[in-house]
Amino acid sequence: MIRINDGEQSLPARTLGIDFGMKRMGLAVSDELGITAQGLATLERVNMRKDVEQIRLLAQEYAVQKVVVGHPISHSGGSTSMSEKAGAFAEKLRSRLACPVELWDERLTSVEANRMLRSAGLSIGKRQRAVDRVAAVLLLQNYLDFCANQLRRSEPGEGGA
């Protein structure tokens, strides 16, 4: 989708996806059209201050306009200790970033990432190094697809307004 503003074309903003973890965080960024997610290098956690600063620098580098943090809620939709930690991390990001930070249901993204990597024939060691990045790509792609579906539904003649 290209928006026209006073005769100028502007592309939709990029979104950064984070598969939150206590030791590592998988990262992915959308393309400039907001259609596809590409994996970035996995962030090895250091401490909250340094982790948030790394995310802030990435958001700046990629001109990110929104951050989506994986929210690991339970299968029944309830809160877990990890979802509370992800929520606290998202809150820290909100205080340091100039863009919105959303939590996004990430149930089964790591399971799906492991399944995909296993079916690709990767060894356990290679899967462990790649799973966070793949999970972040799946998380962000699910979010982008949801947003695209919401946009299509709201367009006249497409079952929307």
Is residue 11 in some structural domain?
Answer: yes
Is residue 78 in some structural domain?
Answer: yes
Handedness of CA 54, 142, 89, 135 (dihedral sign): negative
- The CATH number assigned to the domain holding 70 equals 3.30.420.140
Is residue 159 in some structural domain?
Answer: no
**φ/ψ (deg, to 5) at 26:** -80, 145
CA distances from 3 to 33, 99, 112, 154 (A): 11, 19, 34, 16
Is residue 114 in some structural domain?
Answer: yes
Cα distance between residue 17 and residue 101, in whole Å = 10
- Own/partner pairs for 145-150, CB < 8 Å, 24+ apart? 147/34, 148/34, 148/35
Question: What does the angle CA 141 – CA 74 – CA 26 come to, to the nearest 5 degrees?
Answer: 40
Is residue 26 in some structural domain?
Answer: yes
pLDDT, tens digit, 9 for 90 and up, residues 52-91: 999 999 999 999 999 999 999 888 888 899 999 999 999 9
Our count of domains for the chain comes to 1
Helix (H, G, I), strand (E, B) or coil at 40: strand
Handedness of CA 146, 151, 154, 158 (dihedral sign): negative
Is residue 109 in some structural domain?
Answer: yes
Q: Which residues pair with 30 in a beta bridge?
A: 37
CA distances from 48 to 35, 54, 98, 159 (A): 30, 10, 18, 44
- Which residue range is the domain that position 125 belongs to? 3-154
pLDDT, tens digit, 9 for 90 and up, residues 117-157: 888 887 887 777 788 899 999 999 999 999 998 877 876 66
Cα distance between residue 145 and residue 104, in whole Å = 13
pLDDT the model gives residue 4: 37
pTM of the model: 0.83
Is residue 44 in some structural domain?
Answer: yes
Is residue 161 in some structural domain?
Answer: no
